[in-house]
Structure 1
Amino acid sequence: MTMQLLYTFITALVISLILGKIGIPMLRSLHAQQSIREEGPKAHLSKAGTPTMGGIFILLALIVSVLIFSPWNTSTWVLIFLTIGHGLLGFSDDFIKSVKKRNLGLTAKQKLLGQIIMSAIFCYIATEVMTVSTALWIPIVNTTVDLGFFYYVLVFIIIVGTTNAVNLTDGLDGLAAGTSAAAAIAYTVIGMILYPENGAGAGVSFFSIALCGAVLGFLYYNSNPAKVFMGDTGSLALGGAFAGMAILTKTELLLILIGGVFVMEALSVIIQVVSFKTRGVRVFKMSPIHHHFELSGWSEQKVVVRFWLASCLCAVLGLLVFAIR
């Protein structure tokens, strides 16, 4: 199984590298260009015109390598469904904004409706077909609480929260891709521990290692200065993938630690909005928090590398907590 995982990783990495080489000129020809917020850091204005929707490369590399090497079971297919579903949702938004030149893209209600439908389908398959327990494992204290029907609500919150958190993290060159690679390695290890053989849940290991290879291949083109951005196509798909793996491995709460950087980014936005609306005071110079560090004098590369290290630390701590369960 270890060699198969290695082959899966290499295949996803190579496909992603090839697709980047071929696909970036195609995105340029379609004028699929990133719009830069005028209220953002002024240094980012030079990024205007950079091709976006590069998440397509990640998705294709991920799916092809998974279909070649992963066991064909329900866990594999349901992860593909949730990831591609969110990728298509993000692609629709990117396409409308960057190609059709309509700034609003999909409305918040349209995105939410799509996520509600995908969450319901995913949760039904997980609990009714795969018989995934509705019990919630609480790390450290190592106890479980059966949520019953409310587990469906939790699944929706996890999926929506994770996809939005990864989306918010995708604000600097290579930031979301690098942090996602660290989280993917953590879920590869968790999958290997839970399913050491090619059993019913082994698809998680193959899926996560393929995801790692795909984002690292994309990172070659996305690192500073980025030649392409993943867009919502990539960030929403990555969020869906991590949410799905957390639910199938019953590590829903552990995802908060493994994806600590994603959580920090999302919390910074929530804190900023709540503080400004209730007290008229901004806690950060700008949110998400990576912009705060930029405006505090850190270079973009310094912020990204520090966040990568933080993500690696979160992944290691998450694995340690999982190991002592």
Structure 2
Amino acid sequence: MLEQVIFFTILMGFLITVLLSPIFIPFLRRLKFGQSIREEGPKSHQAKTGTPTMGGVMILFSIIITTLVMTGKFSEPTVKTYLLILVTFGFGLLGFLDDFIKVALKRNLGLTSRQKLLGQIIISVIFYLVYKQNGYPTEITVPGSNYSIELGWFYVFFIVFWLVGFSNAVNLTDGLDGLVSGTAAIAFGAYAVLAWNQSQMEVAIFSVAVAGAVLGFLVFNAHPAKVFMGDTGSLALGGAIATIAILTKLELLLVIIGGVFVIETLSVILQVISFKTTGKRIFRMSPLHHHYELIGWSEWKVVVTFWSVGLILAILGIYIEVWL
């Protein structure tokens, strides 16, 4: 039964994305929804100008359809199912607006930082209100221990920080062909294992559905990418992985399982702090993946290395929770 659920869920998520892509990518080209590449980025990236973006729409469609169909077949939709869809769709919609402004209205920066942050906070608070209304726990457990901290109503601030933080972290990581697709598949796969271990079938099915969808997207997003997911995909995936961590009560474990996203974000923070305080840069360019490009690594080498680190961290996270 378990093997069937995993196989058919990941297969469905994969196939929907793969079958949609040959239809959707030419459609994006006709609409001239091409990516604009920043001039201050690596020069090698200028060749990517015009590559269709907003491919995250396909990922979102695949995730939602696969989750609803497979949950209905093998389990039963619960409040957690709809919370996962709410955050994923909400953050995806926010990313879609950002992408649309960039590519259709030709405003290169998209939504302003304040607009994006406000949208993220509103979605996070709505999530908290539904979460709290259904009596879900508001403590945080330290990974690998029985020690927990009850936050009470302060938990809303944690939820906002976690959802906003990880949606932006995944967004920052989305800078190389296939980088987020691969690391996200690994992270969601790890949380699928942990959700199954807790007998949270609906959360596990959602996690596997996401893994299947991004693996299908990777077929067209691997170097050289034929399509980018844009903020539509990266913000949705970041919000989704943070929501899964909250619903499984393995929030802090996400720092390990999603370690690649955390490292990428820290590289940006450290770069800004260093430059503002000393006038010097720690890295040749941030996020970190660009630093390795500028020291001579090929794009594919950077991506595979980051995938490998993500896999090691995912295995470590599972080990800490299941066997430690």
Q: TM-score range by the shorter chain?
A: over 0.9
SS at match of 2:144: coil
Spell out, residue by residue over 1:133-187, the C-alpha distance to the aligned partner (whole angstroms, 9 max, x if none): 1111011343101011211111110001100000001000000000000001001
Deviation at 1:6, TM superposition (A): 1.6
> 2:243, 2:299 → 1: CA distance?
31
User: Structure 2 regions of 5+ residues with no counterpart?
Assistant: none
In terms of mean alpha carbon deviation, does 107-116 or 270-279 score higher? 107-116
> 1:235, 1:24 → 2: CA distance?
18
> 1:321, 1:142 → 2: CA distance?
12
Correspondence for 2:77: 72
User: Structure 1 regions of 5+ residues with no counterpart?
Assistant: 196-200
Correspondence for 2:163: 159
Residue type of the alignment partner of 1:275: S
Correspondence for 2:153: 149
> 1:64, 1:149 → 2: CA distance?
33
Correspondence for 1:58: 59
Aligned with 1:113 (options 112, 118, 129): 118
Deviation at 1:116, TM superposition (A): 1.2
In terms of mean alpha carbon deviation, does 237-246 or 137-146 score higher? 137-146
> 1:284, 1:236 → 2: CA distance?
25
Correspondence for 2:88: 83
1:33 and 1:99 in contact (8 A); partners too: no
Correspondence for 2:48: 47
SS at match of 2:152: coil
Correspondence for 2:180: 176
> 1:218, 1:100 → 2: CA distance?
26
Correspondence for 1:35: 36
Alignment of 1:236-255 (within 5 A): 236-255=235-254
SS at match of 1:145: strand
Alignment of 1:2-17 (within 5 A): 2=2, 3-17=4-18
Spell out, residue by residue over 1:170-223, the C-alpha distance to the aligned partner (whole angstroms, 9 max, x if none): 00000000000000100110110001xxxxx42110000000000000000000
Spell out, residue by residue over 1:265-320, the C-alpha distance to the aligned partner (whole angstroms, 9 max, x if none): 00000000011001111000000000000001100000000000011111100001
Correspondence for 1:198: none
> 1:20, 1:308 → 2: CA distance?
23
Deviation at 1:16, TM superposition (A): 0.4
In terms of mean alpha carbon deviation, does 140-149 or 78-87 score higher? 140-149
Residue type of the alignment partner of 2:304: V
Residue type of the alignment partner of 1:256: V
Alignment of 1:83-232 (within 5 A): 83-129=88-134, 131-195=135-199, 201-232=200-231
The CA RMSD over aligned residues, in Å, is 0.9
Residue type of the alignment partner of 1:102: R
Correspondence for 1:270: 269
Structure 1 runs, 4 residues or longer, greater than 3 Å off: none
Residue type of the alignment partner of 1:85: G
> 2:168, 2:296 → 1: CA distance?
27
TM-score (norm 2): 0.97
Residue type of the alignment partner of 2:180: A
Deviation at 1:123, TM superposition (A): 1.1
1:76 and 1:207 in contact (8 A); partners too: yes
In terms of mean alpha carbon deviation, does 166-175 or 93-102 score higher? 93-102
> 1:293, 1:232 → 2: CA distance?
23
